[in-house]
């Protein structure tokens, strides 16, 4: 059908199926969990004292929030952001297991900020996605 003036109405693709949304969210979460784990151990040690600034963990959390927010806005559902954070948390939890003599995420400041930060920043990303989606609907 054409609009007045001879222009055709734009065709929008069908929204993704629920299983595709869940798969994409978990895949993005696993990816950000792997990338964040490889980034989290970078730190800046201030002076000769025990003061440490875990900038790698902060950047890893920023990556997670960006990915979770993107997935939530792409799917137009804030709960999908929570699934993305859950995928990252499960991935980081699996990588923190001390199997044998090697553990990728250890109990230092950087590891604690990364592991606990995922649990804190996932609801923040979901809230941001909800707020943006809510403002677009008005």
What pLDDT, in 10s, does the model give residues 116-134? 999 999 999 999 999 999 9
Q: Residue 39: which pLDDT band, with cuts at 50, 70 and 90?
A: very high
Q: Cβ atoms within 10 A of the Cβ of 51, count? A: 10
Confidence of residue 98 (pLDDT cuts 50, 70, 90): confident
Phi first, then psi, for residue 49 (nearest 5°) are: -80, -175
Q: What pLDDT is attached to residue 12?
A: 62
Q: What is the mean pLDDT of the chain?
A: 89
Q: Which residue has the higher pLDDT, 123 or 5?
A: 123
């Amino acid at each position: 059908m054409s609009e007045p003036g001879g222009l055709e109405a734009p065709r929008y693709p069908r929204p993704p199926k629920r299983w595709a949304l869940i798969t994409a969210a978990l895949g993005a979460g696993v990816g950000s969990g792997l990338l964040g784990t490889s980034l989290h151990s970078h730190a800046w040690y201030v002076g000769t004292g025990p003061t440490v600034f875990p900038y790698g963990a902060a950047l890893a959390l920023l990556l997670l929030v960006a990915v979770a927010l993107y997935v939530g806005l792409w799917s137009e559902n804030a709960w999908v952001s929570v699934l993305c954070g859950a995928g990252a948390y499960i991935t980081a939890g699996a990588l923190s297991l001390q199997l044998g003599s090697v553990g990728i995420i250890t109990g230092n400041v950087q590891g604690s900020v990364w592991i606990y930060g995922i649990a804190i920043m996932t609801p923040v990303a979901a809230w941001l996605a909800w707020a943006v989606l809510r403002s677009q609907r008005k």
